[in-house]
A and B are shown apart, each in its own frame.
Chain A
Amino acid sequence: MFSSQIRRVARGAMAIAAVATLSTAVAGVASAAEKINIATLAFVSSAPLFIAKEKGYFADEGLDAELTFFRAAQPVSVAIASGDADFGVTAFTGGFFNLAAKGALKVIGAQLHEEPGYDGSAILVSNKAYDAGLTKVEQLGGHSFALSQVGSSFHYMIGNVAEKAGFDLASMDLKPLQAVPNMIGALKTGQVDSMIIVPHIAKPLANAGAAHIIGWVKDYVPYQVGGLFTSTRNVEQRRDVVEHFVKAYQKGVADYRAALLATDENGKLVKSDSTDEILKIVHKYVYADDPEEKAFPKIRNGAMFITKDARLDVADVKKQVKWYQDHGYVSKDADPDTFIDTSFIPPLDAK
């Protein structure tokens, strides 16, 4: 929150400076690049944004894109609702839907998608629970489950897994631990029996013998994990800017898919011509402190599926809203149709 205030002050100062230069300079340099501010996290899920920035796709579209990094997903949506930032990508949560339902946000495209054939979130159990016989997803009923917050995407995923696997979510002891490191710590020490987590965390944990993967979310629920969104004000007043932004983002997504989602004829992930180039770009932002040989495998592990052209699985988003509403985490009057705008990117075809 502080950072956004500081930024606001800084931007105010910059605006004054800009006005000063403009008034002294010759007025009317018409084709000055449109400034946009993108709120992002240093995660692989934001990779298309980094690619578009580094490869100049934003500049090609006449946009002067500035990336602002946040430490948590929640402030990203708040920053956009309040007008501090223009665009962002984030996972869908009950909180996001509640905020969107207040009318300040529009979802215009897709972020990650859980898709059979690609790595997605894993269902992990602690060694202690595994040794005690918890080896199948169907047995999760009655066990404890770590999640960041009530109404988070973790909550939705375990709810859907419970439905499909046939155990009762209400019988589970949900432990909100606020942050992912706390969740990992609690699972490692056996203080919770289970959790769901992204693959680049799940796989190293399992490989190190600190936990066991007993299933994958995608096997139960193909699911639109997150979306690309902007403020309602931008959609209404700067439509051309949004269109340009979307084009650049889609180019980034195309590069991402070509480099990180390429498969051989058996559906196995393979390295393509552009893999190393894209990994280098992403590495500038993600795991930047690690050397390439350590960072690249982590990035690849975290590179989940993104639909072609960042098309949004609208049907699934509606399903999610309904689930959150049924469980009391999203207000009944929230209507997905009012905050999903498919006029920039056509929706994913219903299967």
Chain B
Amino acid sequence: MSDDRTAVKNPVRLRAIGFNPRANPYAAWGSFIVLVILWQIGSSTGFISELAMPSPVAVGKALWQLIVSGELWVHLAASAQRLAVGWVLGTVAGLTVGFLIGMFSWARSPGVALVSALFPIPKIALLPLFIIWFGIGEPSKFATIGFGVFFPTVINTFSGVDNVARNLIRMGQSFDLSTWSIVRKIILPGALPTILSGFRISSSIAIILLVAAEMIGAQYGIGALILSAGNLYQTDQLIAGVVVLSLLGLSVSWLLGRLDKWLLSWR
């Protein structure tokens, strides 16, 4: 025993290291800045040819031109309207169908089968049909975005409903709550976290589909701007449009983050 006490003491090595990535907002912004700087250096030195990729300065100028000419706001307003209407239509329909599938046996199997069959169809491939069904005006654009949003929303909603703890529903029944009360006070809030995280996906899909939606008959809109810039080889304007889309995505994501905080404060 005494030998043990007098022996050399080795500190125990800490072994639980790593596997715990932490967020660092400065690094996030820094990565953007570094990328843009490298890109500008590449353009300035001629390593990146103007034909292949416009320089950040050229993109900035194109963006500035869009802002001062007021064109950007016209495009943005047109796109925002399409995004909002299309997303709301797709989301309302998706939530409704998702709840039906989540709650009723008669809707379950047919609904899941149809959604699984239709979800993977690229909505862009259906564009000619949308034109026949909805014309070349705004409705076909709403439909393109709406359909894109609808399917993931359905899937998210019913898996959200599935994930609501059964014991809570049984509890509601044991207190003789009405079906409507159970849906509104137990199932809806219980499915809300899943539904909200689905909103992040569906809003990104809506932005992705904006370009497709604005392929047909759109004179204004960020998607139309990008398309026409592409057709005209105005690559600086094209990238400027892409930057605007990206900023739009970031703003939507921020807004949804706020919504999360507000609605899910109980978590």
Contact = CB atoms under 8 A, between A and B. Distances in A.
A331 B128 CA distance: 33
B224 interface: yes
B231 A177 contact: no
A98 B128 CA distance: 29
Interface in A309-334: 329-331
Contact of A150 (B131, B132, B231): B231
**A81, A102, A176, A177: which has the most chain B beta carbons within 10 Å?**
A176
Contacts of B227: 149, 176, 178
28 contacts: A81-B51, A95-B232, A98-B234, A149-B227, A149-B228, A149-B231, A150-B219, A151-B231, A152-B231, A173-B219, A174-B219, A175-B136, A175-B216, A175-B217, A175-B219, A176-B215, A176-B218, A176-B219, A176-B228, A177-B216, A178-B227, A182-B128, A182-B136, A185-B131, A189-B132, A191-B131, A329-B232, A331-B234
Given A175-B136, A182-B131, A185-B132, A151 B232 contact: yes
Interface residues of B, number: 20
A177 B233 contact: no
Interface in A102-157: 102, 104, 149-152
Contacts of A94: 231-232
Interface of A: 74, 81, 93-95, 98-99, 102, 104, 149-152, 173-178, 181-182, 185-186, 189, 191-192, 329-331
Given A74-B231, A151-B228, 7 more contacts: A94-B231, A150-B231, A151-B231, A152-B231, A178-B215, A182-B136, A330-B232
Contacts of B137: 191
Interface in B211-267: 215-219, 224, 227-228, 231-234
B30 interface: no
Contacts of A191: 131, 135-137
Interface in B91-147: 128, 131-132, 135-137
**B217, B227, B233: which has the most chain A beta carbons within 10 Å?**
B233
**B128, B132, B228: which has the most chain A beta carbons within 10 Å?**
B228
A176 B51 contact: no
B50 to A, nearest CB: 6
A180 to B, nearest CB: 13
Given A102-B50, A176-B224, A182-B216, A95 B231 contact: yes
A181 B127 CA distance: 13
Contacts of B224: 150, 176
A192 B136 contact: yes
Nearest to B50: A102
Interface string B148-172: 0000000000000000000000000
A95 B128 CA distance: 25
Contacts of B50: 102
Contacts of A186: 131, 136, 217
A188 to B, nearest CB: 11
B136 A98 contact: no
Nearest to B236: A331
A331 B233 CA distance: 10
A150 B228 contact: yes
B258 to A, nearest CB: 36
Contacts of B233: 95, 98-99, 102
List 3 A-B pairs, minimum CB-CB distance, nearest first.
A98-B233, A150-B228, A175-B217
B102 to A, nearest CB: 39
A168 B200 CA distance: 44
Contacts of A175: 136, 216-217, 219
Contacts of A192: 136
A66 to B, nearest CB: 25
A71 to B, nearest CB: 15
Nearest to B128: A182
